[in-house]
Amino acid sequence: MEIIVTEDYESMSRSAAEIILRQLKDKPDSILGLATGSTPEGMYRCLIKAYEEGTADFSKVQTVNLDEYIGLKGTHPQSFRYYMDTKFFDWVNISKKSTYMPDGMELCIDKIADDYEKKLEEIGKRDIQILGIGGNGHIGFNEPADSFAEYVNVVELTEETIAANSRFFSDGNVPKRAVTMGIKDIMSAERIILIVSGSSKRGILKKALYGGITPKVPASILRLHPNLVVIADREAGEELEEVR
Ligand code: PGA
């Protein structure tokens, strides 16, 4: 495990983007596992900038996202599809057909999970999986639980996550369910980059990296991954020991 503590959010974002850009230089048809949330926004901005400067080419890249809300259309401003389109895909030369997300509008709940699991299998091993961490230690929408969910599954969001998300839903209709890659899906990526920012994540990050490995802190399982890079800004990572 590598632990990198950067000066601030911008340098955290740049460090994560640089890893992706190096990956694309080595393998232009890389498969990227992507995440939403406020943490990766800066990383996407860096990738867009690299594309605009002519140093990044996404034309052969395929992407799979971690999760999506149930019941939101891709055009809903809070759907993760909308987030990905407007914050990243629309600004680079990626083919939208090569960007995959679970279908949160599929009416048959079992089918949502099965279809996405099949899609992940069909696409193959992700070269890099980007992750953020929730205030409760969740990765994707794998919430604290008594056991680790292995595969794509539909989850009831915890009160804490619903409350954290409510800032984005002015009409109060915060989705209560989501579909997410499971822990085994996440862990099957070749390399995992966990990016973490801000003092509010400091405690949970420490717990995930130094506490027990437990489904009560889903991110703690990442320590078993052979190729994990944690990039935290100073506010999140000031109590961590760097490992390079
Ligand atoms: P955030 O979310 O980046 O908006 O803090 C991270 C997460 O919940 O995984």
Please list the residues that pair with 34 across neighbouring strands: 65
Which whole-number Å values give the CA distances from 48 to 32, 41, 55, 70, in the listed order? 15, 11, 10, 28
Q: Which atom of ligand 1 is nearest to the CA of 133?
A: 9
190 alpha carbon to ligand 1 midpoint, in Å? Answer: 22
208 alpha carbon to ligand 1 midpoint, in Å? Answer: 15
pLDDT tens per residue, range 75-85:
999 999 999 99
pLDDT tens per residue, range 90-103:
999 999 999 999 99
pLDDT tens per residue, range 119-133:
999 999 999 999 999
All residues at 6 or more sequence positions from 44 whose CB lies less than 8 Å from its CB, including other chains = 87, 88
pLDDT tens per residue, range 196-238:
999 999 999 999 999 999 999 999 999 999 999 999 999 999 9
Which whole-number Å values give the CA distances from 84 to 26, 66, 100, in the listed order? 24, 11, 10
Q: What structural domains and CATH numbers belong to the chain?
A: 11-193+216-229 (3.40.50.1360)
All residues at 6 or more sequence positions from 55 whose CB lies less than 8 Å from its CB, including other chains = 21
Q: Which atom of ligand 1 is nearest to the CA of 134?
A: 8
pTM (global) more than 0.85: yes
